[in-house]
A = this chain, B = another copy of it.
């Protein structure tokens, strides 16, 4: 049953949280100000905020403070509590307000949550979805604009999802919450208001599968999160020159979908990966290294990464714009790769 109009990625995420909570009582949310105003008399149990970006708005009114739990500013405390709650039977969905706060709670993910099942010989199960956000472009400066999904992705036993649009965000988030593993669900704060057609029903999108957003035979571009839109712009522009770009939206960055990426590269012989993380030891270089190896005989040119520079995120608007990958940078790289096709 299609709803009348498109909804934003923000609305899709809220809807997914709502449905997950509706479906399973064991799903609880924790985070700073995800309700807001807990214990403030005149609010009568309503939330004052619903999260810093409003993503959890309406949920405390429906599910109460028992399930939409405002936390003090204690990331290690509540993230670790989520691990402990997951190990003992709940399905917590903690929110890390910005992925930049990873340094305050990394142990609970790196050394506790992700290792328990293995260290305990398979006995622990940690069904937990960490919602967070990343990304430059909101003038949020160096400490609120980083992209650290690649760091989470380097940790064994953590799955990492980066949605690019409302439809996948809803389905992936529902799939994540169904998972009996730790999933980091990293949203790009600058595309929350992008709209898309999103079914009203409960549905899941498979974690670990990339999507081909545009087919092409000349050049593959793999993207993470909002870099999809850079790739689509590049594809559009190159189409005018007769170059057919295949655009692959990774969606899950750990473990990423080798099969889809390799099949595409075997067809096109050329690959660019766009990842707005800092350039070293990130998802892009991981893909580049594996593709360069496994598709070696198919490559007509080097696999190229277009990433942020190796600097913190600058505040000034002009510098921040320059910091992010964009169509021009990708086209520059593409030109080299497709020189022989023109």
Contacts and interface: CB of A to CB of B under 8 A. Distances in A.
Interface of A: 100-111, 114-115, 118-119, 141-143, 150-151, 153-157, 254-255, 278, 280-286, 288-290, 292-294, 296, 299, 301-305, 310-312, 314-315
Quickly give the copy total for this chain. Answer: 2
Contact of A285 (B156, B290, B314): B290
Contacts of A310: 156, 255
A302 B311 contact: no
Contacts of A312: 114-115, 118-119, 156-157
B107 A104 contact: yes
A303 B314 contact: no
A169 to B, nearest CB: 23
Given A142-B118, A278-B155, A292 B286 contact: no
A293 B302 contact: yes
Contacts of A141: 119
Nearest to A100: B111
A294 B100 CA distance: 32
Contacts of A108: 103
Contacts of A305: 289, 293
A284 B285 CA distance: 9
Nearest to A281: B154
Nearest to A284: B289
B119 A154 contact: no
Nearest to A110: B103
Contacts of A290: 285
